[in-house]
């Protein structure tokens, strides 16, 4: 049995899909560029983190880490980007924060997925086809 669609219809569908993909990739690139242009931590966030870490409130590893940062051996940007040789000192704090906030993170992630699906972006489902 032959496909009832003409070659022109198939080429038009491919072209439309390519345009959608190009637009989606452009949107993604713009979002990534926007995120990269923002500082990882604002000055206020750095100060607050340093104060908490220096107080010992965030544990011994974070106390050691803030001493290295304040001593000029490292920066928060290097630590959070994974470029720091002292990044392992952050792991215990991140694990603790994740455990404390995992329900909130799961809810926020679920809401993000729902927002994207409402826009027609099915991030984790099968790609929708014209036959659906």
Mean pLDDT of 8-17: 90
| Sequential DSSP letters for 35-91 | HHHS-SS-HHHHHHHHHHHHHTTT-HHHHHHHHHHHTTS--HHHHHHT--TTTHHHH
> Are 27 and 49 in a shared domain?
no
CA distance 19 to 119: 17
Domain membership of residue 25 (yes or no) is yes
> Are 69 and 106 in a shared domain?
yes
Whether residue 132 is predicted with pLDDT greater than 60 in this model: the reply is no
Cβ 105 vs Cβ 98: under 8 Å: yes
Mean pLDDT of 125-130: 56
Q: What is the pLDDT of residues 29-40, one digit of tens each?
A: 988 888 878 877
The candidate with the shortest Cα–Cα distance to 63, out of 74, 49, 53, is: 53
With bands split at pLDDT 50, 70 and 90, how would you rate the model's confidence at 131?
low
Mean pLDDT of 69-88: 90
Give Dmax over CA atoms of the chain in angstroms. Answer: 75
Q: How many structural domains compose the chain? A: 2
Domain membership of residue 128 (yes or no) is no
> Are 79 and 118 in a shared domain?
yes
Q: Which domain holds residue 6?
A: 1-38
Q: HSE, CB side, 13 Å, CA atoms: give it for residue 15.
A: 6
Q: What's the confidence (pLDDT) of residue 37?
A: 81
The candidate with the shortest Cα–Cα distance to 79, out of 41, 109, 113, is: 41
> Are 58 and 106 in a shared domain?
yes
Mean pLDDT of 100-122: 88
Share of residues in the chain with pLDDT > 90 (%):
35
> Are 31 and 47 in a shared domain?
no
Q: What is the mean pLDDT of the chain?
A: 86
Q: What's the confidence (pLDDT) of residue 126?
A: 60
> Are 85 and 112 in a shared domain?
yes
């Amino acid at each position: 049995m032959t496909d009832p669609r003409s070659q022109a219809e198939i080429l038009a569908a491919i072209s439309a899909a390519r345009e959608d993909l190009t637009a989606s990739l452009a949107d993604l690139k713009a979002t990534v560029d926007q995120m990269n242009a923002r500082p990882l931590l604002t000055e206020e966030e750095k100060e607050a983190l340093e104060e908490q870490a220096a107080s010992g409130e965030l544990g011994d590893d974070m106390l050691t880490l803030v001493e290295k940062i304040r001593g000029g051996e490292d920066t928060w940007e290097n630590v959070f980007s994974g470029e720091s040789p002292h990044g392992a000192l952050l792991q215990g704090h991140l694990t603790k924060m994740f455990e404390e906030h995992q329900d909130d993170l799961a809810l926020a992630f679920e809401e993000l997925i729902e927002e994207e699906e409402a826009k027609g972006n099915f991030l984790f489902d099968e790609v929708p086809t014209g036959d659906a």
